[in-house]
Chains A and B, each alone.
Chain A
Amino acid sequence: MSLPEVTPPPFAPPYPTRGGRFAPKDTVRVKKGAAPGHMRTPFYLRGRTGRIERICGDFPNPEELAYRRDGRPAPTLYRVRFTMAEVWGDGAERPADTIDAEIFEHWLEAADAP
């Protein structure tokens, strides 16, 4: 597993949040499941491990909004950073380059979860 360095920003998220389950610098894995219908978790990141770069805030769940429900209680949204080595393996163009993506809490699990 190849993990990126993260330097979480020295300011609080500008959007309200209940705090969430994870904190900046935590190591997390994107769940492998597939939701039917609309989702905002890109396929290429599922099963990959990265680190929380920052908490963005709590936002209505897009998987619910897509079907005209209110998406509440709003799950916490995180920016998660991955190394190219972790995402693309030997196919990485430069292994230490990184990708940040916004991932909702229900798509994340602790990296040491079974």
Chain B
Amino acid sequence: MPHDHHDHFHHEGMSPSGHPYRPDNDQPLTYWQRMEIAVRELLVEKGVTTAAEINAQIAKMDARNPAMGAAVVARAWDDPAFKARLLADGTAAIEEMGIEPDGLKLVVVENTAEVHNVVVCTLCSCYPRNLLGLPPDWYKTRAYRSRTVKQPRAVLKEFGLDLPEDIRVQVHDSTADMRYMVLPRRPEGTEGWDRERLAGIVSRDCMIGVAVPQPS
């Protein structure tokens, strides 16, 4: 029980529940934070946009999440005709499921018995945000971006994925207009599962390609 601490153990700088206090963020704003606030306030003052519109846009982005991608994967596993359409034109296929691509140009790459796909953006942090939501912090780190194109197997092993030598690792560097989602292999032992149950084993990491679904 992580919160079960004995009363006589008091650690310097720890909260009553035994966690370190996080420093307050009362340092001065950075150059870019000031810039963002200034531009936003000017746009509102000049009537170009409104605070409500900005909040609505943030709420829209926050509502996007990996469950949307998992539903797409589950349908592709369960519906071969949909899978064919998804591979041919990812954007049109997700629209069919009622997901608004909002400019997303989606390319879906399929894992097979011979090929394992993994996605990275070495130049910045390109990611299919309009389908999966915001990328995880590690996706944007210099370590992930630089190492995935050079030592993908070592990186995948650190994520707990140890691929056999006879599978080809295919790294996708999202360098321009397309955004990539991995279609994982449907695991054995999931025969007869409905789409909801299938979607439940498809994590965000499976769709980036640093994990594979495990039937539980």
Chain A nearest CB from B135 CB (Å) reads 18
CA distance A96 to B152 in the complex (A): 12
Binding site for B on A (CB under 8 A): 9, 11, 14-15, 40-42, 44, 56-57, 59, 62, 77, 79, 81, 87-88, 91, 93-94, 96-104
User: Other than the known A97-B168, A100-B171, what 17 A-B pairs have Cβ atoms closer than 8 Å?
Assistant: A9-B87, A14-B89, A14-B92, A41-B175, A56-B178, A59-B177, A88-B150, A93-B152, A94-B165, A94-B169, A97-B152, A97-B169, A97-B171, A99-B173, A101-B172, A102-B174, A102-B178
A91 with B150: CB separation less than 8 A: yes
A62 with B176: CB separation less than 8 A: yes
Chain B nearest CB from A105 CB (Å) reads 12
- From B89, B154, B173, B177, give the contact of A93 (CB < 8 A): B154
B123 with A77: CB separation less than 8 A: no
Can you list, as one digit per residue, whether each of B65-89 has a CB less than 8 Å from chain A (1) or not (0)? 0000000000000000000000111
Of chain A, the residue at the smallest CB distance from B119 is: A100
CA distance A42 to B151 in the complex (A): 17
Given contacts A14-B89, A42-B122, A102 and B177 within 8 Å (CB-CB): yes
- Flag whether B170 is at the interface (Cβ < 8 A): yes
CA distance A92 to B158 in the complex (A): 18
CA distance A88 to B169 in the complex (A): 15
- Flag whether B105 is at the interface (Cβ < 8 A): yes
A93 with B150: CB separation less than 8 A: yes
B92 with A98: CB separation less than 8 A: no
Question: Could you tell me which residues of chain B, from 42 to 80, have a CB within 8 Å of some CB in chain A?
Answer: none
A93 with B172: CB separation less than 8 A: no
14 A–B contacts from the bound complex (CB under 8 Å): A9-B88, A14-B88, A44-B149, A56-B176, A59-B177, A77-B177, A77-B178, A93-B150, A94-B153, A97-B169, A98-B170, A101-B173, A102-B176, A103-B176
Chain A nearest CB from B83 CB (Å) reads 13
Of chain B, the residue at the smallest CB distance from A97 is: B169
- Flag whether B130 is at the interface (Cβ < 8 A): no
Residues from chain B with a CB closer than 8 A to the CB of A98 are: 168-171
Residues from chain A with a CB closer than 8 A to the CB of B91 are: 14
Residues from chain A with a CB closer than 8 A to the CB of B172 are: 99-101
